[in-house]
């Protein structure tokens, strides 16, 4: 049982979901992902306006990931005693600030600094979301609450980024960041209105990082996270060259739309079943992704097979963040926020590792090797999940 349930407010003990508050958390995740990935869709415009190469604009995404990687664990440890809503509001307000600076800056290095700070705020926010959502509901609804709070990520990837790219391409990239600033200011009011406050942890209740890492099941969840996200990013980052042999290089947006829509279906299904079927859903997700990767490897020249395999991949990936964060929250109990900060760090390491290992494979083995690398990684993730039946992904869940 997750010991966080003993600290719930009376309203959270009711057999219902506080949808407005949970959707406010989802909106925070939406803005976080949109802030992270939007420069990728606006490389030419930002490069021309800021007077630097597109390669340097690409480093704006690297700076963001670096900020999250470096800050998630230290900031979470530092702020354990803070009340939760003021801390959440501080992280959200940070996005309003950095996106406003990005929209107004005419200097590349100032923009780069803003992006680094955006990553810092993102690391803190992602470490908060799952634990916050689980504290807003009764224990038997925690998985569903986390699934709703995680809805912002697939929505940003499937809808937000294409829309932001369209606006930036049509009316200037600065408008996209200015709109995000305005939306973030509205979100501050929404959080203040609908998201309850919770106390931080007393000094005597704060476990050290080493103890949290050593809790039974925590390392299994983190290792599955690394292997799964590493495989996902190997394929997702280099999807364009992989699609080229099938003649789909000009239809990357169409293929990614299939992925995004399937991911939304996946997170919807996960939200319905996660509290009773956490382990089976995780096993199914790993197996489906491994199977779709093998299908891509076997039928990489077939347009129909690619679309079907990508849909299965999106379906399996959509609910993954909620599955992993729920598993970690239930495993870590009172130390959920610290454990989540570790997950944020591992997730960002896997993103960087996916880009690097995929690049090495492309230059050495060729694009055909990518799906088989992914299948091998997911087979290992599946095996670890199978073995973690006592702790991490317990059979009872």
What are the CA-CA distances from residue 214 to residues 207, 226, 324, 344 (Å)?
Answer: 11, 17, 17, 17
Residue 127's domain spans which residues?
16-197
Residues 178, 95 share a domain? yes
- Half-sphere exposure at residue 51, Cβ-oriented, CA atoms within 13 angstroms: 5
In a domain, 256, yes or no: yes
Residues 182, 257 share a domain? no
Q: Closest Cα partner for 208 from 76, 390, 67, 392?
A: 76
pLDDT in tens, 200-258: 776 666 677 778 777 888 889 999 999 999 999 888 777 777 777 777 766 766 777 78
Q: How far is the C-alpha of 363 from the C-alpha of 251, rounded, in Å?
A: 23
pLDDT in tens, 357-379: 777 887 788 878 889 999 999 99
Residues 358, 243 share a domain? yes
Residues 221, 163 share a domain? no
Question: Which letter, b or e, does each residue of 323-362 get, where b requires 16 or more Cβ atoms within 10 Å of its Cβ?
Answer: bbbbbbbbbbbbbbbbbbbbbbbbbbbbbeebbebbeebb
At residue 394 the predicted structure's pLDDT band, cuts being 50, 70 and 90, is: confident
CATH code where residue 94 lies: 1.20.1250.20
In the block, tokens 């949970």 appear at: 22
Residues 138, 65 share a domain? yes
In a domain, 341, yes or no: yes
Task: Say if residue 8's pLDDT is above 50.
Answer: no
In a domain, 395, yes or no: no
Predicted model pTM: 0.79
Residues 191, 254 share a domain? no
The total domain count for the chain is 2
Q: Which of 197, 229, 260 is the last residue of a domain?
A: 197
In a domain, 129, yes or no: yes
Q: Closest Cα partner for 90 from 60, 117, 63, 112?
A: 117
Q: How far is the C-alpha of 27 from the C-alpha of 150, rounded, in Å?
A: 9
Residues 77, 100 share a domain? yes
Residues 273, 190 share a domain? no
Rg of the Cα trace of the chain? 20
pLDDT in tens, 24-40: 999 999 999 888 878 87
In the block, tokens 């912002």 appear at: 152
């Amino acid at each position: 049982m997750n010991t966080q349930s003993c600290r719930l407010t009376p309203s959270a003990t009711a057999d219902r979901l506080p949808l407005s508050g949970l959707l406010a958390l989802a909106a925070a995740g939406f803005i976080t992902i949109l802030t992270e990935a939007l420069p990728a869709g606006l490389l030419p415009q930002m490069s021309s306006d800021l007077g630097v190469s597109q390669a340097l604009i690409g480093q704006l995404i690297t700076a963001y990931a670096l900020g999250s990687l470096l800050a998630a664990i230290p900031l979470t440890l530092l702020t354990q005693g803070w009340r939760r809503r003021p801390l959440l509001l501080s992280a959200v307000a940070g996005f309003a600030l950095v996106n406003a600076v990005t929209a107004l800056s005419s200097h590349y290095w100032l923009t780069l600094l803003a992006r680094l700070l955006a990553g810092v705020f993102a690391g803190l926010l992602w470490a908060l979301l799952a634990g916050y959502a689980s504290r807003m509901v009764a224990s038997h609804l925690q998985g569903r609450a986390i699934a709703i709070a995680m809805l912002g990520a697939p929505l940003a990837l499937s809808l937000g980024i294409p829309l932001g790219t369209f606006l930036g391409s049509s009316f200037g990239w600065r408008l996209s960041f200015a709109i995000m600033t305005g939306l973030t200011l509205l979100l501050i009011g929404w959080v203040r209105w609908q998201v309850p406050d919770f106390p931080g942890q007393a000094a005597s209740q704060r476990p050290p990082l080493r103890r949290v890492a050593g809790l039974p099941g925590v390392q299994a969840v983190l290792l599955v996270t690394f292997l799964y996200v590493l495989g996902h990013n190997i394929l997702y980052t280099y999807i364009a060259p992989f699609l080229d042999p099938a003649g789909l290089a000009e239809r990357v947006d169409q293929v990614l739309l299939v992925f995004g829509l399937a991911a939304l279906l996946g997170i919807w299904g996960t939200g319905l079943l996660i509290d009773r079927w956490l382990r089976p859903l995780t096993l199914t997700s790993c197996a489906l992704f491994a199977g779709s990767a093998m299908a891509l490897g076997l039928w990489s020249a077939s347009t129909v097979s690619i679309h079907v395999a990508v849909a299965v991949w999106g379906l399996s990936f959509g609910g993954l963040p909620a599955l992993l964060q729920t598993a970690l929250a239930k495993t870590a109990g009172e130390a959920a926020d610290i454990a989540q900060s570790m997950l944020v760090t591992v997730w960002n390491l896997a993103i960087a590792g996916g880009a690097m290992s995929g690049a090495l494979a492309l230059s050495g083995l060729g694009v055909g090797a990518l799906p088989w690398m992914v299948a091998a990684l997911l087979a290992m993730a599946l095996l670890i999940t199978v073995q973690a039946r006592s702790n991490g992904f317990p059979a009872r869940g």
